[in-house]
Amino acid sequence: MAKQRSSLTIDDVVGAWAILPTPAKAGASDWRAEDTVDIDETVRIVEELIASGVNGILSLGTFGECATLLPEEKSAFLGAVIEAVRGRVPFFTGSTALSTRQVVRDTRMAHDMGADGTMLGVPMWCAPSEDMVVQYYKDVAEACPEMAICVYANPEAFKFEFGRSFWRRVSDIDQVITAKYVSVGNILTDMALSRQRIRFMPLDGFYINCARIAPDFFKAFWTGGAICGPEVVIKLRDDVAEAVRTGDWSAAERLSGRIDASYGPLFPNGSFRDFSTYNIILEKERMNAAGWAHVGPARAPYHIAPEAYLENARLSGRMWAELCAEIREAK
C-alpha cells in the first residue's frame, strides 16, 4: 500500500506562525549539564500562544537550539509540544542534521510522535551545490511522504544561497508547501519562480511590505517576537488583514514601524552577518528581557557574546514589552 501524503497544503499556511525557543533550566550553558529542557515552561508557552490566537507553531530552528540538544532532550521537548498543541494548529518541527540519513530518521520520529511537518534546513558541514540540496529535499520527501516541508531558507546558517533556480526546482516537490524566508530582497522573484506553489513566510517586520504588494499570496509570516509577547503579532496580523480589506494601511504602518524599531538594537553594528554569529544567545536574551516567557540560558558552545551586544538585545526585548503593554491598555 502506498504511503499517505501529507494532508497539509499551502492554503493551511496563513496568519502568524510563532517559532519557539527550547526553554532551558538554570545551568544549561554548562557542557556537563543534562536534562536541560524546561518542560513546564515549554507547555505554558505553547498553551498561551494558542490561546492568544497564533495560527501555527515552528520549533527546533537556530534559536530553538536544534544543534545543541541531546537526542533525549529533543524527544522530550517534541513530546511536550505535541501534547500541548493537541492538533489545534499546524506544528512543524525542525529536523535538520548533518546527513540525509539522520534527517530522515529524525523526521520519521517527529511524524510518529504527531508533528504535521518539518522546518527543514540544509546539512552544512560542507557548502552544498544546488543539485545536492534539491536532491536532499526530494529524498526527504520520498522517505517521509506524510510530512509537509517548510524550507528553512537561511543562507548564513546553511552556507547555501537558496538561489533563483533552486525555488523553481524545489517547487516541483508536492510536500514543500512553505518557506521560512529570512531576507525579502528577492522574495517577489522567488515567488514567481516557484509558481506560487510555496507560501513564502517573511519575518514579522517585513510582512506589511510583502502583503501590500501581493496580498492574495502573502498571507502568513513567521515570528520569534511572539515569545516576547504575542499581542503584537496578533495585532499585526489583524491590522494587515483590515488594511487589505479597506485599503487604509495607516494602523498597520504604525505598528510595523514600532516592530522595526524594536529590532534595531538586536543586530550588532546593524549587520545580519554579525547577528548570525550570536543569534541564539541574543534572541534568548531578548525574550528573557521582555518578560513574557522565561527561556533560560543558551546552551554551549553558543552561549558567549560581548556584553554590549547582550545589553542591546535586552533593550530590544524591553521595547517589544512596552509595545505589548500599550496594546493591552488600548483594548
Q: Give catalytic residue positions.
A: 180
Given a contact cutoff of 8 angstroms between Cβ atoms, the answer to whether 316 and 265 are in contact is yes
Backbone angles phi, psi at 126, to 5 degrees: -110, 145
Q: Quote the CA–CA distance of 266 and 272 in Å, as a whole number.
A: 9
Q: In the structure grid, which three cell numbers stand for residue 203, read together? A: 519575518
Residue type, 241: A
Given a contact cutoff of 8 angstroms between Cβ atoms, the answer to whether 246 and 287 are in contact is no
Q: Quote the CA–CA distance of 158 and 126 in Å, as a whole number.
A: 9
Q: Quote the CA–CA distance of 59 and 66 in Å, as a whole number.
A: 9
Q: Is 265 helix (H, G, I), strand (E, B) or coil?
A: helix
Per-residue b or e along 84-107, where b marks 16 or more CB atoms closer than 10 Å to that residue's CB: bbeeebbbbbbbbbeebeebbebb
> Measured over all CA atoms, what is the biggest interatomic distance in the chain, rounded to whole angstroms?
58
| Count of beta carbons in the 10 Å neighbourhood of residue 157 | 18
Given a contact cutoff of 8 angstroms between Cβ atoms, the answer to whether 57 and 18 are in contact is yes
Backbone angles phi, psi at 244, to 5 degrees: -60, -40
Backbone angles phi, psi at 173, to 5 degrees: -90, 115
Q: Quote the CA–CA distance of 185 and 308 in Å, as a whole number.
A: 29
Q: Quote the CA–CA distance of 188 and 57 in Å, as a whole number.
A: 24
Q: Quote the CA–CA distance of 152 and 117 in Å, as a whole number.
A: 12
